């Protein structure tokens, strides 16, 4: 098990949580999300986000609408559904617990 | 100057260099392979294409209107390789996250570098069959005692089975547990592909059809039929493929083992009631060449010419069953060149072998034999010498034993002489023995002919012939022959024993034959003097004596 692999595994776990959080505040399309998450180094390669979005949408946590863009291809604007909201709240709770636990475990 | 293509990505038109197009196309195809229809493959691909369009748009301007290979490479590194896209996001299923899907594709055969002593073949096989690797290793060691089959197989697998390099390949190597539901899912996914292709095709066909006539096309029955047919053929071809693969592998391995034992096996060829039991190529080569280097070359040539197609057969079979791809650069080309080289070696060997037969020489010895004082002349064979070779004297040697050349326990090879019995007007019994051989030069041919040994004994009125003529094992076979011509005065009756008839190639000319025991058949048998058509031509003209050759019946 190498370091890169471990890092990737950790990022993977929180990616879903982050996407839901970002979308709970405002509607966004994939490139916006990519931009925000690249800045925070959550995303190594952009391609990862697409299967994730599709799956969340298929599970009913996200919904989207099409919007024409000037000059570019039409964009899918995603937002969180009520079901997604509930899901997110659960995740948030778990996350907070985790942060606390990890902080305790890693501080000597 | 470069050729460009016009492509439509997510509704946006791009001019793109040909090489860049190829690269992009490959990339999209490899990403697509990473997702199954269950994941919403089409939707993901559409999203990704749309992102590509967006990114490429940023890269072109009025001064740079064409998408280059460099741009495409930049986009790809930004989006990530299929491994990264599919690998980093490993979806857990909805059911309480308990059942985790670890692998989408079927298990494949790889070599396992993490569990390797030599090349990881046993580790990979163990992972593939889900058996403890130790057992596989034990099996390989045990197979070593079967004509060294184990190491050979190991080597083949080492060459043709690819090493699991990436994490994805290592996962693929371990695969999922093979369960009914997995098999069912795999087949369903594959059927999905076939279905999709057929649908695409039927849509295309519909379009064409609609354009040509305004026929109201009812698609559903036809489409259903296409789906059904697709399903049927999908399963059918899969099963047939595996059966063919199994057949090829079994046949290939079987022939290869036989082939290896022929090349490396025992020194002799054993003939039995069931045919050839053990065939040794070196023993065969030895009769044509006295040069060890040439024999070794012949073995190498034969290995290449016959072995490569056999290995190719096993490889093709294994590919059909396990679905792996060796992915070795120039593998096919190098193999083919090796095969051609083998063919060249064989041709060279054949020609040098043929040269050994280019000249022919013979020489003749004459012996006068005192006529028996009374009664008949009995021609017999030395049965003891037949037994010495381990052959039953009652068997029909001259037509049943073609393996005499290989029977070299005595350090010599054996051949069967021809005996011709003729009448003569003179009153002496005369024996003319001619030895003949071929060689690469007249001198060598003469040498070979003179080293042929043949003898007979006279005991009273009995002539006892050796059953075989012999020559040194090291001389090799150079079409050595011995002709014996026996001239007997007309007034002397001749008896040819059964043993002699079975051992030597005997024929009578212009002669009445007396056979059987003296007591039981004192009556001289009436026989037709015969001379088989074409038989005389077998003998070289020089050795045909000038005797009166009118066929007559005599009592």
Residue-range domain boundaries for chain A: 3-106
Answer whether A54 sits within 8 Å of B167, measured CB to CB: no
Residue B117 resides in a domain: yes
Put simply, the answer to whether B88 touches A5 (Cβ < 8 Å) is no
Least-confidence region, from B182-186, B428-432, B475-479: B182-186
Give the pLDDT confidence score for residue B340 in this predicted structure: 92
Q: Which domain holds residue B119?
A: 102-178
CA-atom Rg of chain A in angstroms: 16
Checking if the pLDDT of B427 tops 70, the result is: yes
Number of structural domains (chain B) is 3
Chain A nearest C-alpha distance from B171 (Å): 14
Q: Which of B85, B86, B97 to mutate to test the interface with A (most CBs of A within 10 A)?
A: B85
The pLDDT assigned to A2 comes to 66
As given in the structure block, the two tokens for residue B126 are: 């163990």
**Percent of chain B at pLDDT above 90?**
3
| Domain end (from B88, B110, B135) | B88
Choice between B220 and B46, residue whose per-residue pLDDT is larger = B46
B82 domain-assigned: yes
pLDDT at B180: 55
Interchain pair A31, B53: CB under 8 A: no
Asked if residues A50 and B47 have their Cβ atoms less than 8 Å apart, the reply is yes
Cα distances (Å, whole numbers) of residue B4 to B12, B62, B449, B525? 16, 16, 78, 100
Residues in A touching B33 (Cβ below 8 Å) = none
Dig out the tokens for B524 from the structure: 């001289």
B36: nearest CA partner in chain A: A51
Q: Name the pLDDT band for B204 (thresholds 50, 70, 90).
A: low
Whether residue B187 has pLDDT greater than 70: no
Highest average pLDDT, of B190-194, B307-311, B325-329, B394-398, comes from B307-311
Copy the structure tokens of residue B212.
Answer: 């040509």
**B529/B551 Cα distance (integer angstroms):** 7
- B58 and B166 assigned to the same domain: no
Give the 3-state secondary structure of B316-379.
HHHHHHHCCCCCCCCHHHHHHHHHHHHHHHHHHHHHHHHHCCCEEEEEEEEEEECCCCCCCEEE
Q: Is residue B288 part of a domain?
A: no
Mean pLDDT score, B433-442: 90
Smallest CA-to-CA distance from B379 within B527, B555, B513 is with B513
Residues of A whose CB is below 8 A from B89: 12, 15, 48, 51-52
- Kindly state whether residues B77 and B106 are assigned to the same domain: no
Mapped onto helix, strand or coil, the DSSP state of residue A99 is: helix
Provide the residue-wise pLDDT of chain A in tens; the chain has 108 residues.
567 777 777 777 788 888 888 888 888 888 888 888 887 777 777 888 888 888 888 888 899 998 888 878 888 899 999 998 998 998 899 899 989 998 998 887
b/e A54-74 (16+ beta carbons within 10 angstroms → b): bbbbeeebbbbeeeeeeebbe
pLDDT of the residue at B345: 92
**Residue B344 banded pLDDT, cuts 50, 70, 90:** very high
For residue B94, the model assigns a pLDDT of: 35
Mean pLDDT across the stretch B522-534?
Answer: 36
**Residue burial A7-19, b: 16+ Cβ < 10 Å; e: rest:** ebeebbeebbebb
Is the same domain home to B405 and B502? yes
d(CA A85, CA A61) in angstroms, rounded, equals: 8
Q: Which residues of A touch B95 (CB under 8 A)?
A: none
In this prediction, residues B6-29 reach a mean pLDDT of 87
Q: Please, what is the average pLDDT of chain B? A: 74
Say if the Cβ atoms of B80 and A52 lie within 8 Å: no
Collapsed DSSP state (helix, strand, coil) of residue B19: helix
Q: Could you please report the per-residue DSSP string of A67-90?
A: E--SSS--EEEEEE-HHHHHHHHH
Looking at CATH, the fold of the domain delimited by A3-106 is given as: Arc Repressor Mutant, subunit A (1.10.10)
The answer on pLDDT for B551 being more than 70 is no
Identify the pLDDT of residue B173. Answer: 74
B41 located within any domain? yes
> Percentage of chain B surpassing pLDDT 70?
69
Report how far Cα B269 is from the mean position of its chain's Cα atoms: 19
Whether B62 and B115 map to the same domain: the answer is: no
Q: Tell me what the mean pLDDT of segment B267-294 comes to.
A: 66
Minimal-distance CA residue of chain A relative to B95: A59
Q: Does A66 touch chain B (CB under 8 A)?
A: no
The residue count of chain B comes to 555
- What are the backbone dihedrals phi and psi of residue B372, each rounded to the nearest 5 degrees, phi first? -65, 145
> Ramachandran region of residue B403, left (φ > 0), alpha (ψ -120 to 50) or beta?
alpha
A51·B86 Cβ contact <8 A: yes
Shared domain for B77 and B111, answered yes or no, is no
Q: What is the pLDDT of residue B343?
A: 92
pLDDT exceeds 80 at position B419:
yes
Structure tokens at B546: 């000038």
B153 and B77: one domain? Answer: no
State the pLDDT at residue B532.
38
Quote the minimal CA–CA distance from A55 to chain B in Å.
7
Confidence of residue B385 (pLDDT cuts 50, 70, 90): confident
**What's the pLDDT score for residue B421?**
87
Instruction: Give this complex's ipTM.
Output: 0.85
- On whether residue B258 sits in a domain, the answer given is no
Q: Of B28, B55, B88, which marks where a domain is finished?
A: B88
Which chain B residues are closer than 8 Å to A71 by Cβ?
A: 57
Question: Could you tell me if B472 and B383 are in contact, meaning their C-beta atoms sit under 8 angstroms apart?
Answer: no
Mean pLDDT across B76-101: 55
Instruction: Evaluate the CA torsion angle A91, A96, A102, A105 in order and state its sign.
Output: negative
For the stretch B227-256, pLDDT in tens is: 677 777 777 787 888 888 888 888 888 888
pLDDT at B550 over 60: no
Cα-based angle B480, B486, B488 (whole degrees, multiple of 5): 175
Q: What angle do CA B415, B418, B422 make, to 5 degrees?
A: 165
Residue A6: list chain B partners with CB under 8 A: none
Residue in this structure with the two tokens 């051992």, named with its chain if needed: B503
Q: Is the pLDDT of residue B534 over 70?
A: no
Residue B493 neighbours by CB under 8 Å, 6+ apart: B375, B376, B377, B512, B514, B524
Tokens of A18: 């982050």
Q: How far is B329 from chain A (nearest CA, A)?
A: 30
Of B187 and B442, the structure prediction assigns the larger pLDDT to B442
pLDDT at residue B528 above 50? no
Check pLDDT > 70 for residue B143. Answer: yes
Q: Would B287 be classed as within a structural domain? A: no
* Residue B184 pLDDT: 62
pLDDT at B366: 87
Q: Is residue B378 part of a domain?
A: yes
Same structural domain, B22 and B143: no
When pLDDT is cut at 50, 70 and 90, the band that residue B546 belongs to is: very low
Position B521 pLDDT exceeds 60: no
B323 belongs to a structural domain: no
Residue B62 to residue B64: CA distance in whole angstroms: 6
Q: Is B31 an 8 Å CB contact of chain A?
A: yes
Contact between chains at A73 and B35 (C-beta distance less than 8 A): no
Q: How far apart are CA B20 and CA B24, in angstroms?
A: 6
Boundary-marking domain end, from B132, B156, B178 = B178
Count how many pairs of residues, chain A against chain B, have C-beta atoms within 8 Å: 81
Residue B218's CB is within 10 A of a number of other CB atoms, namely 8
Residue B84 has φ and ψ, to the nearest 5°, of -70, -40
What is the structure's pLDDT at B347? 92
Beta bridge partners of B419: B484, B506
Asked whether the beta carbons of B478 and B445 are under 8 A apart, the reply is: yes
Q: Is the pLDDT of residue B519 over 70?
A: no
Please give, rounded to a whole number of angstroms, the shortest distance from the CA of B81 to a CA of chain A.
Answer: 8
User: Looking at the DSSP assignment, which residues form a beta bridge with residue B275?
Assistant: B272
For B374, phi then psi, to 5°, come to -145, 160
The tens digit of pLDDT for each residue in B125-135 reads 888 887 888 88
State whether residue B483 is helix, strand or coil. strand
pLDDT at residue B536, rounded to an integer: 39
Smallest CA–CA distance from A53 into chain B, residue: B44
Q: Give phi and psi for B479, each to the nearest 5.
A: 55, 40
Residues B468 and B506 in one domain: yes
Put simply, the answer to whether B89 touches A31 (Cβ < 8 Å) is no
The H or E element containing residue B269 is: none
């Amino acid at each position: 098990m190498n370091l890169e692999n471990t890092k990737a595994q950790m990022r993977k776990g929180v990616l879903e949580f982050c996407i839901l959080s970002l979308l709970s505040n405002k509607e966004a399309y994939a490139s916006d999300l990519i931009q925000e998450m690249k800045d925070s180094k959550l995303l190594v390669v952009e391609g990862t986000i697409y299967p994730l979005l599709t799956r969340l949408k298929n599970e009913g946590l996200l919904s989207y609408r099409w919007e024409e863009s000037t000059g570019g291809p039409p964009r899918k604007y995603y937002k969180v559904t009520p079901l997604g909201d509930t899901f997110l709240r659960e995740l948030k709770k778990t996350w907070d617990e985790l942060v606390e636990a990890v902080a305790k475990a890693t501080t000597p | 100057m470069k050729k460009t293509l016009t492509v439509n990505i997510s509704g946006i038109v791009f001019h793109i260099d040909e090489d860049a197009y190829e690269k992009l196309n490959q990339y999209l195809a490899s990403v697509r392979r990473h997702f199954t229809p269950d994941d919403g493959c089409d939707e993901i691909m559409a999203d990704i294409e749309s992102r590509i369009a967006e990114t490429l748009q940023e890269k072109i301007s009025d001064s740079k209107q064409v998408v280059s290979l460099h741009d495409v490479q930049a986009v790809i590194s930004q989006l990530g390789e299929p491994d990264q896209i599919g690998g980093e996001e490993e979806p857990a299923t909805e059911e309480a996250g308990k059942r985790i899907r670890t692998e989408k594709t079927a298990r494949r055969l790889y070599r396992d570098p993490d569990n390797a002593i030599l090349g990881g073949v046993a580790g990979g096989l163990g992972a593939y069959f889900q058996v403890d690797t130790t057992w596989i290793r034990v099996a390989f060691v045990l197979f070593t005692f079967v004509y060294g089959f184990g190491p050979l197989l190991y080597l083949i697998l080492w060459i043709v089975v690819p090493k699991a390099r990436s994490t994805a390949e290592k996962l693929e190597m371990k695969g999922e547990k093979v369960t009914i539901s997995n098999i069912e899912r795999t087949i369903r996914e594959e059927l999905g592909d076939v279905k999709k292709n057929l649908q695409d095709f039927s849509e295309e066909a519909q379009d064409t059809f609609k354009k040509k006539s305004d026929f109201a096309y009812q698609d559903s029955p036809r489409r259903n039929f296409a789906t059904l047919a697709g399903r049927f053929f999908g399963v059918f071809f899969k099963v047939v493929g595996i059966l063919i693969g199994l057949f090829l592998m079994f046949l290939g391995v079987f022939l290869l083992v036989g082939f290896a034992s022929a090349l490396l096996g025992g020194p002799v060829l054993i003939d039995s009631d069931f045919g050839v039991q053990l065939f040794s190529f070196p023993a065969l080569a030895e009769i044509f060449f006295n040069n060890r280097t040439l024999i070794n070359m012949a073995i190498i040539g034969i290995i290449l010419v016959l072995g490569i197609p056999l290995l190719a057969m096993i490889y093709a079979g294994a590919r059909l069953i396990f679905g792996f791809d060796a992915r070795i650069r120039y593998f096919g080309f190098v193999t083919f060149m090796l095969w051609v080289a083998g063919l060249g070696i064989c041709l060279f060997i054949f020609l040098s072998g043929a040269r050994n037969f280019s000249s022919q020489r013979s020489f003749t010895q004459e012996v006068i034999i005192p006529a028996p004082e009374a009664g008949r002349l009995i021609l017999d064979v030395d049965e003891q010498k037949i037994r010495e070779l381990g052959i039953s004297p009652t068997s029909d040697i001259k037509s049943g034993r073609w393996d005499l050349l290989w029977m070299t326990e005595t350090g010599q090879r054996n051949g069967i002489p021809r005996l011709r019995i003729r009448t003569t007007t003179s009153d002496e019994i005369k024996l003319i023995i001619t030895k003949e051989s071929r060689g690469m030069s007249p001198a060598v041919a003469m040498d070979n002919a003179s080293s042929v040994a043949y003898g007979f004994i006279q005991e009273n009125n009995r002539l006892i012939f050796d059953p075989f003529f012999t020559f040194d094992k090291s001389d090799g076979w150079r079409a050595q022959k011995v002709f014996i011509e026996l001239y007997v005065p007309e007034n002397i009756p001749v008896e040819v024993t059964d043993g002699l008839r079975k051992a030597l190639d005997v024929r009578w000319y212009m002669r009445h034959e007396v056979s059987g025991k003296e007591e039981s058949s004192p009556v001289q048998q009436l026989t037709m003097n015969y001379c088989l058509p074409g038989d005389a031509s077998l003998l070289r003209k020089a050795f045909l004596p000038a005797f009166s050759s009118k066929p007559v019946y005599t009592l």
